[in-house]
Structure 1
């Protein structure tokens, strides 16, 4: 009797461990379904893992992080500059996402070229070049 109970307990633990393993390894996080604190942490972790000269396209970022909190686009005959902002740090809990609460990611013709504080400066320089 005790042997059968122990077998059921062991079987239950094995099934539970198998489900946990599958969820951890194969379930993709969905930023849209996350609470805002979790999404901030997720965005920050994703952006911090980016490496210089890594080939990354806008579609890849959108697939991983979801819709940006803020986005701006400027184009001329040759280039399309797009800067997308994902919230990575809460500054003021007012329910409004502002640029200072976000990390910018600059894309040129759909390719990631810069992120962080330098992305905003580079985007503004690109705007000046496009309008001149």
Structure 2
């Protein structure tokens, strides 16, 4: 009986450690992780050229932090947002901390605040 209690207690302790490791937004908990991600995104965005495809951008930068898509004047518009600068230390990424990449008909037409505002 004592052995069963000991095994159950050990199992409970080990599982509670898993919950802590799995739960929450831990991608940016470490100060260096979000800094490295931002720096990488900034470096890659500086290499972009107009008319690149959205697929090429996703291959280069990975999954965006936010996305938007809509039709405007008969064209499909897609906006991918990648974190590039720090705004507020709250553990969450917001659109204000991202650079917008604007695509029309799956081709990059601009990036940055002005490109997004001109939509």
Shared fold per TM-score greater than 0.5 = yes
The one of 35, 40, 43 equivalent to 2:41 is 43
Alignment correspondent of 2:14: none
Alignment correspondent of 1:75: 71
Alignment correspondent of 1:55: 51
* CA RMSD after TM alignment: 2.0
TM-score (ref. length: structure 1): 0.61
State the alpha-carbon separation in 2 of the partners of residues 119 and 77 from structure 1.
17
Q: Describe the SS at the equivalent of 1:37.
A: helix
Shift of 1:122: 2.0
Task: String of CA shifts for 1:83-125, please: whole Å, max 9, x gaps.
Answer: 11100011111121111111110000100001011121122xx
Q: Describe the SS at the equivalent of 1:93.
A: coil
Alignment correspondent of 1:111: 107
Gaps of 5+ in 1: 1-31, 124-132
Structure number having the greater helix percentage: 1
Alignment correspondent of 1:98: 94
Q: Which moved more, 1:88-97 or 1:102-111?
A: 88-97
State the alpha-carbon separation in 2 of the partners of residues 89 and 77 from structure 1.
32
